[in-house]
């Protein structure tokens, strides 16, 4: 059976502007041209899968239902633009700041690859044809551990990009990545 190719995406700072502990759709704001980027990636035949750490759940700032509601609303907005996110995975845990059952050092929290590996299995993904895109070192570490190509975006200013391994691709934005991937696919 033929394997699929996927783009695994961090959410905050990659798809939307990172607003600390955002969980309401009225606070959601796309990174510049991120929705256009998602459309390009979808049109190139990639399955889009969001993998996001949500320590705000662990800290008691909002609930798992709040995150699920945000993802349902975001999915609806994107569907109106003919963009399909196949799955939203989120990690509700934090190893030190979590409360109760959420205080856990788990395999799903990036930099561990748990969410990506789950997506690879669930959607029959070929890691060698797939990417993990994020704005933090934990995103690219998770991608490397899952054997997908890791991409870091320059949407943050607290990373020394010159110190990164050469197997990590660096782009200014999700849109910049999508345009470059489209050019490669057209050659």
Q: Which residues are identified as catalytic?
A: 10, 12
Angle at Cα 57 formed by Cα 109 and Cα 125, nearest 5°? 35
Cβ(141)–Cβ(135) under 8 Å?
Answer: no
Work out whether the CA dihedral 151, 77, 57, 113 comes out positive or negative.
Answer: negative
Rounded Cα distance, 145 and 143, in Å: 5
* DSSP H helical ranges for the chain: 34-43, 55-58, 64-79, 114-122, 137-145, 174-186
First to last CA, the chain: 26
Give the total residue count for the chain. Answer: 187
């Amino acid at each position: 059976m033929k394997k699929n190719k996927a783009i695994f995406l961090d959410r905050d700072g990659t798809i939307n502007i990172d607003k600390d502990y955002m969980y309401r759709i009225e606070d959601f704001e796309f990174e510049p041209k991120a929705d256009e980027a998602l459309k390009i990636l979808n049109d190139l035949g990639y399955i889009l899968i969001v993998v996001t750490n949500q320590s705000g759940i662990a800290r008691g700032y909002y609930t798992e239902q709040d995150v699920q509601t945000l993802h349902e609303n975001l999915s609806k907005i994107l569907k109106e633009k003919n963009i399909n996110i196949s799955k939203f995975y989120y990690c509700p845990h934090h190893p030190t700041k979590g409360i109760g059952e959420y205080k856990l050092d788990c395999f799903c929290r990036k930099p561990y690859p748990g969410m990506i590996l789950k997506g690879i299995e669930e959607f029959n993904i070929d890691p060698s044809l797939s990417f993990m895109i994020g704005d933090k070192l934990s995103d690219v570490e998770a991608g490397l551990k899952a054997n997908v190509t890791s991409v870091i975006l320059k949407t943050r200013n607290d990373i020394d990009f010159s110190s990164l391994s050469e197997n990590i691709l660096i782009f200014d934005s999700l849109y910049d990545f999508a345009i470059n991937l489209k050019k490669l696919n057209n050659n």
